[in-house]
Amino acid sequence: AVQTTYVGNLFLVRWDVPSQADCEAVREAFKARPARERVFHVGVLPAEMGDLDTMQLRRLVETTQDLLPFCAHVVMAVEARGARGTLLRRAISDVVLASSRNFRLSFVNSLDRALVWAPASLPEVADLRPAFARAGCELPPTLDLADQAAA
């Protein structure tokens, strides 16, 4: 099942193979965000996620497109490696580009790299650690190292 969390201006979603219910859950979680400011949205497609059929890919893209107008930037972290990861990034980007001219969407291969795009207003690591855990994600190595260096 999909897992979501919202902390500060970061909305984090860890996807599984997207069902209609998952997509509705993401939209509802996004609507329930405490602030109405434009957010930094990171979608994580984990390496162990199964292959997506055409309908699942469409659901993922449509859900992401629904959030775009309210986001300062959206980064999709496609963690699959090799040809599978390349094909997934390509399929999603082709669908998005074909249906929208909104270029606030980026693709990377890890959650760590997604945070490179993060605004300076990203919450403190102490606040991010439990938020990442709620979304079923490990704290990226660079944030973990930064937290250790600050201690």
Q: Convert the pLDDT of each residue in 90-133 to its tens digit.
A: 777 766 665 565 557 788 888 888 888 887 777 787 888 888 88
For 29-82, the pLDDT digits (tens) are 999 887 667 889 999 988 888 778 889 888 988 898 888 888 888 888 888 777
Distance between alpha carbon 5 and the CA centroid of its chain, in Å? 10
| Distance in Å from the first CA to the final CA of the chain | 35
Judge whether residue 144 has pLDDT over 70: no
- The structure tokens 């999909």 sit at 2
Residue 79 near residue 110 (C-beta atoms within 8 A): yes
- Bridge partners (DSSP) of residue 14 are 3, 44
pTM: 0.83
d(CA 131, CA 133): 5
